[in-house]
Amino acid sequence: MLKRLRDKTPTTRFETVRPASVQPPSSVSYTDIHCHCLAGLDDGPATIEKSLELCRGLLADGVGTAIATPHQLGRFEGLSTPPLIRGAVADLNDHLRAREMPLSIHPGAEVRIDERIGALLDADRIMTLGDGGRYLLLEMPPEVLIDPRMLWEALAARSIRPVVSHPERNDLLASRPRVIDAWRQQGVILQITAACLLGAFGPVTQRTAWYLAGSYAELVVATDAHDLDDRRPRLHEAYAAIARRLGAARARQVCVDNPRRLLAGEDILSEMELDSGAPRRWR
């Protein structure tokens, strides 16, 4: 079943890649809106030492500001409550300051989609990005296709915009691009993972990630880093790859400007600036 659906994944014109002439500006300081850098709250680092190791990796990747997004609900229900997350962020920032590491951590969460989300938001039991009350990072189950439209409506009633984390990693969603297209009218923002664009999760996920990067305007790229091994930060590499394939303006939009705007609680940029030849719509 899955193989048949994967075969429907839209194809893109990757062969129209320009030479690697565009490099990220050295002055860029990235804002990473999705990383698992808090110790002992989810499947990220188990200890504060490992947490600081990941923070060093984020700094080396050019990240100066990050939103810590431990998993909430699903198999992590009850383990990473908003008070625990806020306390862990304050603790990590203390450790970073003590070591003069120029990385600023803000609280957030990656929330598994759940029909109780509206009520849990009202009860302060799940965390919005930056604790700002405007954007909520939501994770779809990896191999299940659900209809989230009622959830989008529940969030709109609370003036909260959904940010769907790595839709390219959901096999069924990746094979139904028009489902994602329809979300655009309901204010859904997509978060693509840098490592997926670079092929770390396989060719199908990579192809879908590139298609979304070139066709869905309201989009951000983040690391979803968990460690310095298989799930390491690769935002700088992704920036360079996007600049080569889709143009420097699009790279800056999705890797620099939109993440910074999300954290600040501002509107993100809704117009794409793509180089000619870049994929623009599903086929």
- Which residue ranges make up the site for Fe ion (CB under 5 A)? 110, 224
User: b vs e for 235-244, b when ≥16 Cβ sit within 10 Å of the residue's Cβ?
Assistant: bbebbbbbbb
C-beta of 162: minimal distance to Fe ion in Å?
15
Closer Cβ to Fe ion, 111 or 256, answer by number:
111
Q: Report helix, strand or coil for 112.
A: strand
Closer Cβ to Fe ion, 171 or 224, answer by number:
224
The residue ranges of DSSP E strands in 148-268, in sequence order, are 161-165, 189-193, 219-222
> What tokens appear for 145 in the block?
């296709």
C-beta of 224: minimal distance to Fe ion in Å?
4
C-beta of 193: minimal distance to Fe ion in Å?
8
**Amino acid, res. 110:** E
- Can you tell me the distance from the alpha carbon of 194 to that of 165, in angstroms, rounded to the nearest whole number? 12
C-beta of 69: minimal distance to Fe ion in Å?
6
C-beta of 133: minimal distance to Fe ion in Å?
21
Closer Cβ to Fe ion, 32 or 110, answer by number:
110
Per-state percent for the chain, helix, strand, coil, to nearest 5: 40, 15, 45
Closest alpha carbon to 238 in 224, 217, 226: 224
Closer Cβ to Fe ion, 139 or 171, answer by number:
139
Closer Cβ to Fe ion, 189 or 274, answer by number:
189
Q: What is the DSSP letter of 225?
A: B
Closer Cβ to Fe ion, 103 or 163, answer by number:
163
C-beta of 44: minimal distance to Fe ion in Å?
9
Q: Residue 75 burial (CB < 10 Å; 0-12/13-18/19+)? A: exposed
Q: Which residue is nearest to Fe ion (CB)?
A: 224
